[in-house]
Amino acid sequence: MAVLLRCSIIVLLILLAPLVVTPATADQSPDAEVRILVDVSASMLRTDPDNLRRPALRLTSELLPEDTRAGVWDFADDVNAIVDVAAVDQQWRDTTRGAARWIHSMGQGTDIGAALETAAADWFAAPPSDDPAPRHLVLFTDGKVNISDDPQEDQAERQRIMGPLMDRLVEHGVTVHAVGLSDEIDQELMEALSRRTGGRMAVTRQAGELERLFLGLFDQVAQRDSLPMDRNRFQVDDTVAELTVVAFHDGDSEGVRLRDPDGDTLDESMAGDRVRWRSEPHHDLITIDQPPPGEWELLGAEDPDNRVMIVTDLRLHTDDLPAYSISGESFAVGAYLTEADEPITRDGFLDLTRFRLLDDTGEARALERDGESGRFATTVTPEAGAREFVVRVSSDTFRREARHRLEVLDTPLTMEREGLEEHPELQRRLIFRPVSDAIDPQALEVELTLTAESGSEQRLRVSHNDDAEHWDISLDTLDPHQTFGIRADAIGTMPDGRTFRAAIDSFETAGLDAGADDSEAAGPNVAVLATLLVVFNLILFAVIGLIFYLLQQRRTTPPALSGDDADANDLRENA
């Protein structure tokens, strides 16, 4: 359990760190606001006996970038601010590291609703903004709503969270990332909080999955410039002002070290003004100012989740992807580069730069340039499941990458085809059944695109009937003698309010005359074959007749005499 919880806390708190990387200026609004809620109820004595929340909070203080505003609360039966909301700077980091020692497991109850309201109080106090800085609220808990000995009061509070409180969070643009620290959490509540607000939910079950889970959360919350790593090697270019290496290890291995381009080895003992080295039982975090350009190597265990994050003027930007999508839904993945915050559109530069998209199946595809702009894009239609996409940009002088993870939910509808009542051979009765718990059937529509033989199209959109368990659509008005192509799409709304269009199925339904047309088309071929057969037989009979005639002639004609016989015959006649 200790290993499990250690990984889970590292997972989520690293998630919070790399929200932005742009240096702060006095007159700028923050790039993001982060509020962290830590459960300190007595049940944590069992789920977190080693109080690994403390080193996790220290890690957060190091990873949160400047120009972020952040605060930390603990909660049980009441809610206490242990780090006030402020701009992240060295003073805030020092304060947070010191406050980590106050994390305990002595509280009574679990007042999740009060914790959410307290952390979001200043957001709620102001009118909703059309374009606020991204607001992230991260909830750590190992249990359920527990504010009273009366189960009915707990249930009423739970309904209040899932109703009015969740509505306020959505209205004020708050994204909730819910992380359960045990299997005993109210998973339905945590899932509703995260999906409705566009955030992530994670539950710790196996230690081997948690580090990968951290990456999914990290990639969803924000993008941070990173360098590709291959066999623990990475290439630093001369635009990199700072690099941060996150190196995971099992705690029993040898210490993590770095080898710079000159071949010199760096370790924890060399930490100083230019090198900041934080070592924890299962990860090391190394930050280096003004790293020399060239090839670096991480000397330690290879792990696919090791990362190199950087601060640079040459930045890679990628499109925001949703936390969740639907199987059959297509969306664009786009990317562009900026230099000193200005988009790069120079042909001479971009012609020498390659943009690629890699997915978790190993497939790589090129991103194509979008006209004269500096944006490159491609379209993906991922299958159901946990998916990862890596945008990788490279040239002879630099490399960048950005990672995205998303959960692709199963298709919201299934489709069956049956024959029409009047023409059972025409598969034009379509039955659609809702199969997804994540999508409200009342928010779903089916759109059919019907393509005739002439190429003309017509569209038919059907909403769900409240009294029916399924859609039953009979296309009996289509010309039964024509062949049609039919495409079925589901159109609906995700729990966070995002609309989607997902392909369900596409097929061709042949008309009644299709078989007759085929027979007519085949008719001339049969006639030709019959004609050829007759001609062949006539020729054959003619050849046979000619041979017979020649044989008869040979029998009736005397044979010609040879030279000696003729001379002998002449002598007899002269005698």
Residue range 413-427, pLDDT digits in tens = 999 999 998 889 899
If asked whether residues 544 and 463 sit together in one domain, one would say no
Q: Which domain holds residue 538?
A: 525-553
Per the structure, the count of domains in the chain is 4
Is residue 161 included in any domain, yes or no? yes
Tokens of 552: 């008869």
Do the bridges between strand 201-203 and strand 265-266 make them parallel or antiparallel, or are there none, so unpaired? unpaired
Q: Which of 409, 425, 456 is the last residue before a domain boundary?
A: 409
Tokens of 84: 């006030």
- For residue 443, name the pLDDT band (cuts at 50, 70, 90): confident
- For residue 207, name the pLDDT band (cuts at 50, 70, 90): very low
Is residue 9 included in any domain, yes or no? yes
If asked whether residues 365 and 440 sit together in one domain, one would say no
pLDDT the model gives residue 551: 64
Q: Which of 353, 378, 409 is the last residue before a domain boundary?
A: 409
| Residue among 56, 18, 2, 216 at smallest CA distance from 136 | 18
Tokens of 32: 């993001």
Average pLDDT over residues 517-534: 54
Average pLDDT over residues 442-454: 91
Q: Is the pLDDT of residue 179 over 90?
A: no
8 A C-beta contact, residue 154 and residue 145? yes
If asked whether residues 294 and 329 sit together in one domain, one would say yes
Average pLDDT over residues 316-331: 89
If asked whether residues 494 and 418 sit together in one domain, one would say yes
Q: How far apart are CA 468 and CA 481, in angstroms?
A: 31
pLDDT the model gives residue 470: 83
pLDDT the model gives residue 31: 76
Is residue 561 included in any domain, yes or no? no
Q: Is the pLDDT of residue 231 over 90?
A: yes
pLDDT the model gives residue 514: 62
Sheet of 429-434: strands edge to edge?
413-418, 429-434, 471-474
pLDDT the model gives residue 12: 45
If asked whether residues 202 and 291 sit together in one domain, one would say no
If asked whether residues 377 and 481 sit together in one domain, one would say no
Q: Is the pLDDT of residue 105 over 80?
A: yes
Q: Is the pLDDT of residue 559 over 80?
A: no
Is residue 558 included in any domain, yes or no? no
Q: Is the pLDDT of residue 555 over 70?
A: no
8 A C-beta contact, residue 68 and residue 33? yes
Q: Average the pLDDT over each of 7-16, 259-268, 397-406, 521-530 and give the range with the smallest value.
A: 7-16
If asked whether residues 389 and 421 sit together in one domain, one would say no
pLDDT the model gives residue 185: 86
Q: Average the pLDDT over each of 6-20, 118-132, 435-449 and give the range with the smallest value.
A: 6-20
Please count the other Cβ atoms lying within 10 Å of the Cβ belonging to residue 280.
Answer: 16
Q: Domain of 487: which CATH number?
A: 2.60.40.10
If asked whether residues 94 and 74 sit together in one domain, one would say yes
Q: Average the pLDDT over each of 227-241, 367-381, 507-521 and give the range with the smallest value.
A: 507-521
For tokens 């002449």, the residue is 570
pLDDT the model gives residue 301: 80
If asked whether residues 261 and 290 sit together in one domain, one would say yes
C-alpha pair distances (Å), 508 with each of 311, 396, 421, 446, 486: 53, 49, 19, 18, 6
pLDDT the model gives residue 567: 41
If asked whether residues 239 and 210 sit together in one domain, one would say no
Q: Average the pLDDT over each of 22-36, 114-128, 134-148 and give the range with the smallest value.
A: 22-36
If asked whether residues 92 and 173 sit together in one domain, one would say yes
pLDDT the model gives residue 54: 78
If asked whether residues 368 and 442 sit together in one domain, one would say no
Q: Is the pLDDT of residue 400 over 90?
A: yes
Average pLDDT over residues 19-30: 41
The pTM of the full predicted model, rounded to 2 decimals, is: 0.75
Q: Which residues of 425-434 are buried (b: 16+ CB within 10 A; e: fewer)?
A: ebbbbbebeb
Please count the other Cβ atoms lying within 10 Å of the Cβ belonging to residue 483.
Answer: 17
For tokens 């339904």, the residue is 509
Q: Is the pLDDT of residue 546 over 80?
A: no
Q: Average the pLDDT over each of 32-36, 70-74, 310-314, 511-515 and give the range with the smallest value.
A: 511-515
Phi and psi angles of residue 132, each rounded to the nearest 5 degrees, phi first = -75, 165
- For residue 530, name the pLDDT band (cuts at 50, 70, 90): low
pLDDT the model gives residue 27: 37
305 Cβ contact partners less than 8 Å away, ≥ 6 residues apart: 211, 212, 214, 215, 248
Is residue 170 included in any domain, yes or no? yes
Classify burial at 165, counting beta carbons within 10 Å of its beta carbon; exposed 0-12, middle 13-18, buried 19 or more: buried
DSSP-assigned beta bridge partners for residue 507 = 486
| Residue among 384, 243, 388, 380 at smallest CA distance from 305 | 388
Radius of gyration (C-alpha) of the chain in whole angstroms: 38
Phi and psi angles of residue 364, each rounded to the nearest 5 degrees, phi first = -125, 135
- For residue 568, name the pLDDT band (cuts at 50, 70, 90): very low
Q: Average the pLDDT over each of 66-70, 101-105, 528-532, 566-570 and give the range with the smallest value.
A: 566-570
Is residue 227 included in any domain, yes or no? no
| Coil, helix or strand at residue 27 | coil
Average pLDDT over residues 295-315: 90
Tokens of 349: 């530069």
Classify burial at 122, counting beta carbons within 10 Å of its beta carbon; exposed 0-12, middle 13-18, buried 19 or more: exposed
Average pLDDT over residues 334-362: 94
- For residue 16, name the pLDDT band (cuts at 50, 70, 90): very low
8 A C-beta contact, residue 48 and residue 40? no
Is residue 518 included in any domain, yes or no? no
Q: What is the pLDDT of residues 459-504, one digit of tens each?
A: 999 887 766 778 899 999 999 999 999 999 999 988 888 899 999 9
- For residue 29, name the pLDDT band (cuts at 50, 70, 90): low
Q: What is the mean pLDDT of the chain?
A: 83
Q: Domain of 190: which CATH number?
A: 3.40.50.410
Tokens of 360: 């978790």
Q: Is the pLDDT of residue 3 over 50?
A: no
Phi and psi angles of residue 75, each rounded to the nearest 5 degrees, phi first = -150, 150
Average pLDDT over residues 210-234: 73
pLDDT the model gives residue 71: 94
Please count the other Cβ atoms lying within 10 Å of the Cβ belonging to residue 80.
Answer: 14
Is residue 164 included in any domain, yes or no? yes
Q: For residue 205, how far is the Cα from the chain centroid? A: 22
